[in-house]
Amino acid sequence: MSIRPFYFIKESFKSFSKNWIISMAAITTVTLSLLVLGFFMLVAFTVNNWMNMTERKVEIVVFLNDGVPAESVQSLQSEIMSWNDDVRKVTYVSKDQALERLKKEFKGSDMLSMIEGNPLPASFEISLKDPAKADEIVKRLKGRSEIESIRHDKQTVERLINFTKMARWVGVIFAGLLAFAALVLIANAIRLAIYARRREIAIMRLVGASNWFIRWPFLLEGIIQGLVGAVIAIAILSVIRAAIEDNVKRLLAFLPTGLPSQSYWQLTFALVIAGIMIGAAGSALALRRFLRV
Amino acid sequence: MIKINNVTMKYKGAHSPAIKDINVDIDRGEFVFLVGPSGCGKSTFIRLLIRELIPTKGKIFIAGHDIANMRRGKVPQLRRNIGCVFQDYKLLPNKTAYENVAFALDVIGKPNRIIRAQVPEVLRLVGLEGKSESYPDELSGGEQQRVSIARAFVNRPAIILADEPTGNLDPATSGDIMSLFNKINRTGTTVLVATHDREMVDNMRKRVLALEGGTLIRDQQRGVYGYEE
């Protein structure tokens, strides 16, 4: 059989113009579903990204006692570094460096004049590969004679982890429900298209049109509906993203917000694929039920 | 051409079979009437031949192919070799006579060049030159049936099956349609006509297969309709 894409596309659009109300409903539902999915994924990605960047800074700070000999400090650092399954980086901050930092941060304030000598302890700043492992690392370090105290911003990290997890799940569940609704609506639109063309289909079967020749226009129609829904969702999402980013930047100028453009393109691509899949699945459902060829 | 071996067809949920243990051989180029009262299994017989139905038991061969065990993807190929004509014509109302016939070639992927050559030719053969731009509702019943025959024959199938082709037509028009089938038969095409048109069958003196209650009760060369009313 010669392949005539023009024929299929023409048939798909003809059918769309006939049943445009039901098709619009199907497209709108695809859009909603992907919008919800995209929005929650965007939030999860952004928070995750922000977390990654902050994690990379410092997670656990280990303050050392004054007067610990340099060799012990050295051996402690190499020990922590040897836990390289969990630990990304260990930085030693000497007493002098700590003071320098403080001076820099409070430049121009008269607070520094009140400090005599150097009351600041030396410390290790540890960043982790997986922030969830922080507790374990803290446990391992506790009770050592070199260590004065350990600071670990446990709650913030945990809250962020839970928040991204929840955002992802909420997104997936709501989007899944909406996607199912979209699938059913597309199947319904395709069913109407099949019904409208039942005479032609009967004759096509009778004269021996191949099964795929009969199926293609309907499959294509569903895919187009899914695709259009996805494109609209992506357009709305990019507007939302721009608006949020502007506001967040204004409010929290010091935070690294936003998403690397690579992840954004991956998300866009995923949404397009999801739209196409919903469309194809919807028409496949209708074809199975209503078009026994 | 058509070989039916011990075929039984029982519909799902029916308590008795629609076709019972039938054996028939039809050679290439034969003209055969399939007769019998309504509900005797004529339509089931035809639907078995185009593999709209699969026999419960037995085998059907068409041009040597076992169609009961045919892969689904091969069915279109089978149907391209069988032209079908029905009592209700099955024409598309929004297409002209020409377009209705061309549609059959178009959807099996024939190039336009062939469509432009074959459609006018087959319309001439069925006696519809000059009506090719008419829509079905502008044509008489007999003319509509001619369009439907043209569509069945345009791809030059080896077999033409007709299910009550004159059921909606007056006797004179029916005669014209039957002579058209005769004409097609003389090109070497095997023709099988299911009918309960007594007069027609008695006049034409062709081979007659008589069905009753799903059983083949008679297979007669140069036969007659033969049922008592």
Bridge partners for A255 per DSSP: none
- Arithmetic mean of pLDDT over chain B: 92
Higher pLDDT, B163 or A23: B163
Which chain A positions have a beta carbon within 8 Å of B79's beta carbon? 205-208
Q: How far is A201 from chain B (nearest CA, A)?
A: 10
Q: What is the pLDDT of residue B227?
A: 65
Pairing of strands B82-86, A123-128: unpaired
CA distance linking residue B48 with residue B70, whole number of Å: 13
Note whether A211 contacts B73, CB cutoff 8 Å: yes
* Residue A100 amino acid letter: E
Q: What is the pLDDT of residue A1?
A: 39
User: Which distant-in-sequence residues (6+ apart) come within 8 Å of A165 by Cβ?
Assistant: none
- Answer whether A269's CB lies under 8 Å from A234's CB: no
Which chain A positions have a beta carbon within 8 Å of B111's beta carbon? 2
Range picked from A241-245, B134-138, B197-201 for highest mean pLDDT:
B134-138
Q: Closest Cα partner for A94 from A128, A56, A124?
A: A124
Q: What is the pLDDT of residue B174?
A: 93
The 10 Å Cβ neighbour count of residue B153 is: 24
Residue B89 pLDDT grade (very low, low, confident, very high; cuts 50, 70, 90): very high
Which residues of A lie closer than 8 Å to B, measured between beta carbons?
A: 1-2, 4, 199-200, 202-211, 213
Q: How far is B223 from chain A (nearest CA, A)?
A: 30
Which chain A positions have a beta carbon within 8 Å of B155's beta carbon? 207
CA distance linking residue B19 with residue B5, whole number of Å: 12
The helix, strand and coil proportions of chain A, stated in percent and rounded to the nearest 5, come to 75, 10, 20
- Answer whether A196's CB lies under 8 Å from A288's CB: no
Note whether A207 contacts B79, CB cutoff 8 Å: yes
Interface confidence, given as ipTM, is 0.86
Residue B226 pLDDT grade (very low, low, confident, very high; cuts 50, 70, 90): confident
Counting as low any pLDDT under 50, the low residues of chain A are 1-3
Note whether B151 contacts A207, CB cutoff 8 Å: yes
**pLDDT tops 90 at residue B4:** yes
The 10 Å Cβ neighbour count of residue A212 is: 13
Q: What is the pLDDT of residue A211?
A: 86
CA distance linking residue B212 with residue A53, whole number of Å: 85
- What φ, ψ does residue A156 adopt, rounded to 5°? -60, -45
Q: Chain B residue closest to A208 (CA)?
A: B76
Which chain B positions have a beta carbon within 8 Å of A206's beta carbon? 50, 79, 84, 90
Task: Give how far Cα B97 sits from Cα of A181, A254, A263, B177, B180, Å.
Answer: 43, 75, 57, 17, 17
- Give per-residue pLDDT as tens, B212-223: 989 999 998 988
- Answer whether A4's CB lies under 8 Å from A156's CB: no
Note whether B108 contacts A200, CB cutoff 8 Å: no
CA distance linking residue A292 with residue B6, whole number of Å: 27
Q: What is the pLDDT of residue A279?
A: 92
Q: What is the pLDDT of residue A223?
A: 92
Q: Closest Cα partner for A27 from A291, A284, A282?
A: A282
Higher pLDDT, A56 or B79: B79
Q: How far is A204 from chain B (nearest CA, A)?
A: 7
Q: How far is A205 from chain B (nearest CA, A)?
A: 7
User: Which distant-in-sequence residues (6+ apart) come within 8 Å of B223 by Cβ?
Assistant: B33, B201, B205, B206, B207, B208, B210
Which chain B positions have a beta carbon within 8 Å of A8's beta carbon? none
Q: Closest Cα partner for A145 from A69, A202, A214?
A: A69
Note whether B92 contacts A213, CB cutoff 8 Å: no
CA distance linking residue B160 with residue B80, whole number of Å: 11
Higher pLDDT, A247 or B37: B37
- Give per-residue pLDDT as tens, A36-90: 888 887 877 777 777 666 555 556 888 888 878 888 888 888 888 888 778 878 8
Q: Which of A202, A207, A211 sits opposite B108 (nearest CB)?
A: A207
Q: Give kind and range of the element (H or E) at residue A52.
A: helix A20-57
- Answer whether B226's CB lies under 8 Å from B194's CB: no
Bridge partners for B209 per DSSP: B34, B219
Bridge partners for B84 per DSSP: B161
Q: What is the pLDDT of residue A256?
A: 53
Q: How far is B43 from chain A (nearest CA, A)?
A: 15
Helices (H), B163-205: 171-186, 198-204
Note whether B107 contacts A209, CB cutoff 8 Å: yes
Q: How far is A286 from chain B (nearest CA, A)?
A: 19
Which chain B positions have a beta carbon within 8 Å of A291's beta carbon? none
Which chain A positions have a beta carbon within 8 Å of B104's beta carbon? 203, 207
Both tokens of B15, joined, read 């308590």
Q: How far is B76 from chain A (nearest CA, A)?
A: 4
Which chain A positions have a beta carbon within 8 Å of B85's beta carbon? none
Note whether A208 contacts B79, CB cutoff 8 Å: yes
- Coil, strand or helix: which one is B216? strand
Angle at B173 between CA B225 and CA B193, to 5 degrees: 40
Q: Which of A2, A200, A208 sits opposite B76 (nearest CB)?
A: A208
- Coil, strand or helix: which one is A235? helix
Q: What is the pLDDT of residue A260?
A: 65
The helix, strand and coil proportions of chain B, stated in percent and rounded to the nearest 5, come to 35, 25, 40
User: Which distant-in-sequence residues (6+ apart) come within 8 Å of B174 by Cβ?
Assistant: B166, B197, B200
Taking residues B51-55, report their average pLDDT: 92
**pLDDT tops 90 at residue B200:** no
CA distance linking residue B156 with residue B183, whole number of Å: 13
User: Which distant-in-sequence residues (6+ apart) come within 8 Å of A94 by Cβ?
Assistant: A122
Q: Chain B residue closest to A206 (CA)?
A: B79
Bridge partners for A60 per DSSP: A126, A152
Interface test with A, best of B91, B107, B108, B160 (most A CBs within 10 A): B107
Q: Chain B residue closest to A215 (CA)?
A: B107
**pLDDT tops 80 at residue B31:** yes
CA distance linking residue B180 with residue B108, whole number of Å: 25
